[in-house]
Amino acid sequence: MMTNTDDLLEYVLKKKVQYEVEIAGVDITVFPEVFPPVTPFSYDSIPLAEANDTRSGEVVLDIGTGTGIHAIVSALKGARKVVATDISQKAIDNCNYNANKYGVNKIVSVRKGNLFNSVKKDEKFDLIIANIPFVDHPAEEFYEHWVYDPGYRAHRELLGNVKDYLNDKGRLLMAFASLGDIGFIEQQIQKNNLRIKQKVFTEKMDIDWLVYKIVRGLS
Ligand SMILES: C[S@@+](CC[C@H](N)C(=O)[O-])C[C@H]1O[C@@H](n2cnc3c(N)ncnc32)[C@H](O)[C@@H]1O
């Protein structure tokens, strides 16, 4: 394991009661055993929340929603419908709590499931947001699925199938970091005939934190 992820996991697991963090102008409640969008050891959720460019009336999918931060930001920016998915029941409960707190529970539909498997084939999205784990490392304990994607199985599936769920002009906003294999991920983007339209870097804690805006390739 890497020091950064060790420290991060230790920090998160020590939290035994719910608390609030401020991110992108939103006071988000964080349940114990749910990945917090603000910590001293990570900087993935903040630039992703800041890059959230949801326009009024859009339909949005937030994959790996955690506390629901990106789903809530999209709803507050005027999305017509937001689907938020996560493999963790605690994250599902946490996202529902925050959607109720912000009065957007009729807009945000929270579903338990792996990547797209709780999304119907005919549901199409203008914007898909994904902050799934970006370190290729075995994951056994439930909390290791906050940070590890063994063999990049989830990223391969995400990038391999995302076009099936995007509208023609749809976009994917995806967080990543130099803790993971950037070369491999960019190769997967190309291989799946997708195109990086924008790449935002922020350097913190000697790590590059990235947000990709990805669209369909030209061919
Ligand atoms: C790094 S956290 C990000 C949470 C939140 N989106 C944010 O930006 O703060 C990753 C989240 O993805 C979830 N997750 C991991 N693998 C997943 C998968 N295959 N499908 C759906 N959710 C997944 C985890 O349970 C966790 O809540």
For the chain, which residues make up each domain, given as ranges?
3-216
- pLDDT (0 to 100) of residue 195: 98
The parts of the chain modelled with pLDDT lower than 70 are 1-3, 219
**Residue whose entry in the numeric block shows the structure tokens 């000697």:** 206
- pLDDT (0 to 100) of residue 1: 40
Q: In DSSP terms, which residues pair with 61 in a beta bridge?
A: 83, 128
Least Cα distance to 115 among 145, 81, 137 occurs for 145
Please answer whether residues 55 and 62 qualify as being in contact, where contact means their C-beta atoms are separated by less than 8 angstroms: no
**Residue whose entry in the numeric block shows the structure tokens 């390739």:** 217
Q: How far is the C-alpha of 122 from the C-alpha of 103, rounded, in Å?
A: 27
N-term to C-term CA, the chain? 40
- pLDDT (0 to 100) of residue 219: 64
Please answer whether residues 64 and 112 qualify as being in contact, where contact means their C-beta atoms are separated by less than 8 angstroms: no
With 0.95 as the threshold, say if the pTM is over it: yes
Residue with the nearest Cα to atom 12 of ligand 1? 64
Q: Is 54 in the pocket of ligand 1 (CB under 6 A)?
A: no
Q: Is 170 in the pocket of ligand 1 (CB under 6 A)?
A: no
- Residue 53: CB atoms within 10 Å: 13
Query: Cα angle vertex 118, ends 96, 111, to 5°?
Result: 5
193 alpha carbon – ligand 1 mean position (Å): 24
- pLDDT (0 to 100) of residue 2: 53
| 84-114 per-position pLDDT tens digit | 999 999 999 999 999 999 999 999 999 999 9
Pocket test for ligand 1, best of 145, 152, 176 (most atoms within 8 A of CB): 145
Q: Is 86 in the pocket of ligand 1 (CB under 6 A)?
A: yes
68 alpha carbon – ligand 1 mean position (Å): 10
- Give whole-number Cα distances, 190 to 109, 125, 187, 201, in Å: 31, 21, 5, 19
Q: How far is the C-alpha of 215 from the C-alpha of 79, rounded, in Å?
A: 19
CATH number of 3-216: 3.40.50.150
177 alpha carbon – ligand 1 mean position (Å): 15
